[in-house]
Structures are given as C-alpha cells and as structure tokens.
Amino acid sequence: MRPRVGVDMLYYAILNQDDADGTSYDTPQRIYNLTNVGLNFNTQFSTFFADDGPREAFSQIGEVDVNLTVADLNGQQVADLIGASYNDATGLVNYSVTAVAPEVAIGFRAQKTNGEYRYMWLLKGTFGVPDSEFQTKEGSITFQPQSITGRFMARTYDDMVFRRLDSDDENFAFPNLPTSWFTDPDLGAEPTALAVSTISPVSGATAVAIDDTIDITFDADVRAADVNTDNFTLYDADAGSYVTCAVGLDPALDDKVIMTPSADMAASSLHVVTIKDSVRNVSGGKLGEDYISTFTTA
C-alpha cells in the first residue's frame, strides 16, 4: 500500500430514503476543482479497569466532521447542499431561516504514489451554510477558495457510515472504476445482481389450478420497497387484461414473493407473470432485465 498524493472527483447525492425498507439517492452530481477533503471520525476510546489494572479497551466511531475545500460552489450546488431555493431561470439563490439542509452522501477518490486510487463514499450527512471571507486584491495574487463543513453519521437502514475501496488492494475486483463508483453510493461497489431461483407454477406449466398462487424465490433477500403491484404483474393473455393480485413477501422468508390473485383465475387461459428489471436485493443489485414466465390454467 502506498501513501496518498492527491484528491479529485468530488460528488454529492441527495438522500431520499433511509428507513427499514432501504435507501435511495438522487443521481450524484460532480463538484469540480476540489482541493481538500478533511475527515475527523471523532473516535471515542474507553478502558475497563479491574484487578488494579486495565483489562479491556473499547473504541467507537463518533459523528464524522467533514470539511470540503473547492474553488467555488455554483448556485445550484450551494442550494442543494444547504437547502436553499435556486431559480434556474435567473440563477438567484434564496436562503430562508426556515430552510432545512437535505441529507446527502459525498464521494471522492485520492490518488496514490503508484498511480492507484482510494475511493470513498460517506453515506449520510448534512452541510451548514458555508462561511466566506472576501479579500481585496493586493500586490500578489491570493486565491480565495470556498470551504463548507458538514457532519455525517450512520444510516438508519444498515448502520453504514462510509465505504472505502483501494484499487491496489490484493483482492480488488472492480474493473469498471472510476465510472461505476460514482453512479450511486449504493451501487459503486458493483453489488451482485438479483436473480430468480425458482417460480411456481414453473414456466410453461399446464393444468394449473385456478385458485393457485404464484410463488417466486430469489437468490437473495429482496428490498421490501420493491415488492409491489407495479413490479410484479399477472396478465391473462386470452382475456387481454391484467389479473388483480395481492403482492407481498413471505412472512417467514425475505427472499420469497407471493402473488395472490384476488379471485379465481380464468380457466383454460394463458397467463403471463412479469417481474420488472428494477427490482433489487437488499445490497442494491438489480434484476437487470424483465423476468417473464407463463403458465396455462386447467
């Protein structure tokens, strides 16, 4: 492993969801001309004393203080980070005392002396209104970059604080960097794609009972937020209409989805099950393409 000699490719992504069902972010936006990233993890240490001496030591990460220095922030960027309004017709930024800064993730990379990089995402935090100092020009040029300070913490969904990847790690296996890393804070590490393991009735089945359910088992736990009637549909091809279904996770298995028609299906009819490509596993991996299965009722 080599020391770091540079930093670039600063991105931020507004956090839209962080709850028991999962996380989601807006498309990351780049801030150019980054000069410095300061991180203070405020690690706390405690020692347990017994039998007249120290016996156990414990450390715990605290709130992460972040300081970014860039050439400047444009109107849209500063509005996004501090919760101000931005008029894209005039470029005017308006900040009110009632403004609330959104939760965001920030990502960047740091070059090493061997030409490799360390990639980072801090996953949840907020920024304050940046302090500014304006100075007159003098006999020599003095650059006046912009700094902004934020505080980051663990996500509610999975207690994750940050993600880090070194391209010179002996186990490194992500050939699509840096592009993939900055597309999504949850997708940067190229999570394993979701796949259907089994479906019942099996595709091509005939003489299926008209009161049957459709049971779909995946190869990983599925995001609860993606289990809905938009992503899982049943179509009666002979009638030319969709069959109303209740769609939900199996109460005992987070990798199994059950589709229950609200009434008996039509007899002797071809039915098409479609699972949308946007369905994800809990690590963020997508199905990737629509999954389609057919069966014919008795």
Q: Residue 280 forms beta bridges with which residues?
A: 286
191 within 8 A of 221, measured Cβ to Cβ: no
Q: What is the pLDDT of residue 191?
A: 66
Give the span between the Cα atoms of 289 and 190, in whole angstroms: 16
171 vs 105: which has the higher pLDDT: 105
Give the span between the Cα atoms of 284 and 157, in whole angstroms: 12
Give the span between the Cα atoms of 248 and 227, in whole angstroms: 6
141: CB partners within 8 A, 6+ apart: none
Has residue 174 got a pLDDT over 80?
no
Has residue 175 got a pLDDT over 70?
no
Residue type, 29: Q
Question: What is the average pLDDT across 85-98?
Answer: 95
Give the span between the Cα atoms of 37 and 12, in whole angstroms: 13
Give the span between the Cα atoms of 36 and 71, in whole angstroms: 10
Cis check: omega of the bond before 178, within 30 degrees of 0: yes
Structural domain spans, the chain: 8-182, 196-297
Cis check: omega of the bond before 251, within 30 degrees of 0: no
Nearest-10 Cα torsion for 133, 137, 141, 142: -10
80 within 8 A of 90, measured Cβ to Cβ: no
Confidence of residue 223 (pLDDT cuts 50, 70, 90): confident
Residue-wise pLDDT tens digits, 278-292: 898 876 778 889 999
285 vs 100: which has the higher pLDDT: 100
Structural fold of domain 196-297: Immunoglobulin-like (2.60.40)
